[in-house]
Protein backbone atom coordinates (compact mmCIF):
# COMPACT_ATOMS: atom_id res chain seq x y z
CA UNK A 1 0.00 0.00 0.00
CA UNK A 2 1.33 3.35 -0.95
CA UNK A 3 0.74 6.29 1.25
CA UNK A 4 -0.34 9.45 -0.40
CA UNK A 5 1.72 12.43 0.49
CA UNK A 6 -0.27 15.37 1.71
CA UNK A 7 0.66 18.58 0.03
CA UNK A 8 0.95 21.65 2.13
CA UNK A 9 -1.71 24.13 1.21
CA UNK A 10 -0.37 27.62 0.71
CA UNK A 11 -2.59 30.62 1.00
CA UNK A 12 -2.10 34.00 -0.51
CA UNK A 13 -3.79 37.24 0.39
CA UNK A 14 -6.54 36.77 -2.18
CA UNK A 15 -7.64 33.36 -0.88
CA UNK A 16 -9.79 33.29 2.25
CA UNK A 17 -8.28 31.35 5.14
CA UNK A 18 -10.21 28.30 6.35
CA UNK A 19 -12.20 28.77 9.57
CA UNK A 20 -10.81 27.57 12.88
CA UNK A 21 -12.81 24.78 14.52
CA UNK A 22 -13.18 25.08 18.28
CA UNK A 23 -11.64 22.13 20.10
CA UNK A 24 -14.29 22.26 22.85
CA UNK A 25 -17.65 22.79 21.10
CA UNK A 26 -16.79 22.22 17.43
CA UNK A 27 -18.08 25.59 16.16
CA UNK A 28 -16.31 26.96 13.08
CA UNK A 29 -14.97 30.42 13.89
CA UNK A 30 -13.39 32.96 11.54
CA UNK A 31 -9.61 33.16 11.59
CA UNK A 32 -9.70 36.68 12.98
CA UNK A 33 -11.28 35.78 16.35
CA UNK A 34 -9.12 34.73 19.30
CA UNK A 35 -11.94 33.11 21.31
CA UNK A 36 -14.80 30.84 20.29
CA UNK A 37 -18.04 32.73 19.76
CA UNK A 38 -20.09 30.06 21.55
CA UNK A 39 -18.01 28.75 24.47
CA UNK A 40 -15.28 31.46 24.73
CA UNK A 41 -12.49 28.88 24.57
CA UNK A 42 -9.26 30.25 23.02
CA UNK A 43 -9.09 29.29 19.33
CA UNK A 44 -5.32 29.69 19.17
CA UNK A 45 -2.51 30.11 21.64
CA UNK A 46 0.45 32.44 21.25
CA UNK A 47 3.81 31.44 22.66
CA UNK A 48 4.93 34.14 25.13
CA UNK A 49 8.55 33.62 24.14
CA UNK A 50 8.63 33.37 20.32
CA UNK A 51 5.03 34.51 19.53
CA UNK A 52 4.28 31.39 17.50
CA UNK A 53 0.54 30.80 16.99
CA UNK A 54 -0.71 27.28 17.55
CA UNK A 55 -3.92 25.38 18.20
CA UNK A 56 -2.94 23.80 21.55
CA UNK A 57 -1.56 25.39 24.71
CA UNK A 58 0.89 23.97 27.22
CA UNK A 59 4.19 23.95 25.35
CA UNK A 60 5.23 25.74 22.19
CA UNK A 61 5.51 23.59 19.08
CA UNK A 62 8.31 25.77 17.73
CA UNK A 63 10.61 26.58 20.67
CA UNK A 64 9.33 24.05 23.29
CA UNK A 65 8.70 26.72 25.93
CA UNK A 66 6.40 25.57 28.72
CA UNK A 67 3.75 28.30 29.06
CA UNK A 68 3.18 27.71 32.79
CA UNK A 69 6.86 27.80 33.71
CA UNK A 70 7.38 30.88 31.55
CA UNK A 71 4.51 32.69 33.31
CA UNK A 72 5.87 31.67 36.73
CA UNK A 73 9.31 32.98 35.78
CA UNK A 74 7.80 36.32 34.73
CA UNK A 75 5.93 36.56 38.04
CA UNK A 76 9.13 35.92 40.02
CA UNK A 77 10.99 38.58 38.01
CA UNK A 78 8.18 41.07 38.56
CA UNK A 79 8.14 40.40 42.31
CA UNK A 80 11.92 40.83 42.51
CA UNK A 81 11.82 44.11 40.58
CA UNK A 82 8.98 45.36 42.74
CA UNK A 83 10.87 44.47 45.94
CA UNK A 84 14.00 46.31 44.75
CA UNK A 85 11.93 49.37 43.88
CA UNK A 86 10.24 49.30 47.30
CA UNK A 87 13.59 49.01 49.12
CA UNK A 88 15.10 51.91 47.14
CA UNK A 89 12.07 54.08 47.91
CA UNK A 90 12.22 53.14 51.59
CA UNK A 91 15.93 54.04 51.90
CA UNK A 92 15.35 57.40 50.19
CA UNK A 93 12.44 58.09 52.51
CA UNK A 94 14.42 57.26 55.66
CA UNK A 95 17.33 59.47 54.54
CA UNK A 96 14.95 62.37 53.85
CA UNK A 97 13.32 61.86 57.25
CA UNK A 98 16.68 61.99 59.02
CA UNK A 99 17.68 65.14 57.15
CA UNK A 100 14.42 66.85 58.02
CA UNK A 101 14.58 65.78 61.68
CA UNK A 102 18.24 66.77 62.13
CA UNK A 103 17.47 70.28 63.42
CA UNK A 104 15.02 68.90 65.96
CA UNK A 105 17.22 66.04 67.14
CA UNK A 106 20.27 68.33 67.20
CA UNK A 107 18.41 70.85 69.36
CA UNK A 108 17.28 68.12 71.76
CA UNK A 109 20.87 66.85 72.10
CA UNK A 110 22.16 70.40 72.62
CA UNK A 111 19.47 71.07 75.24
CA UNK A 112 20.40 67.89 77.15
CA UNK A 113 24.09 68.85 76.99
CA UNK A 114 23.44 72.34 78.29
CA UNK A 115 21.23 71.03 81.11
CA UNK A 116 23.97 68.58 82.10
CA UNK A 117 26.54 71.44 82.19
CA UNK A 118 24.18 73.56 84.25
CA UNK A 119 23.57 70.82 86.79
CA UNK A 120 27.29 70.21 87.03
CA UNK A 121 27.35 66.67 85.66
C-beta separation of 36 from 25 below 8 A? yes
Cβ neighbours around 118 below 10 Å, total = 8
Beta bridge partners of 25: none
- Mean pLDDT of each 10-residue bin along the chain, 121 residues long: 51 67 88 89 86 84 90 93 88 80 78 84 63
The secondary structure of residue 84, as a DSSP letter, is H
pTM check: above 0.75: no
DSSP codes, 13-81: TTSPPPPEEPTTT--EE-TT-SB-TTT--BS-EE-TTT--EES--SB-TTT--BHHHHHHHHHHHHHHH
Amino acid sequence: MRRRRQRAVTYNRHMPLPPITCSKCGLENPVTVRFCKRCHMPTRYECPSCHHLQAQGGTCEKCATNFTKYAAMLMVQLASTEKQSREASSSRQSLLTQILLLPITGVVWLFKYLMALRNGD
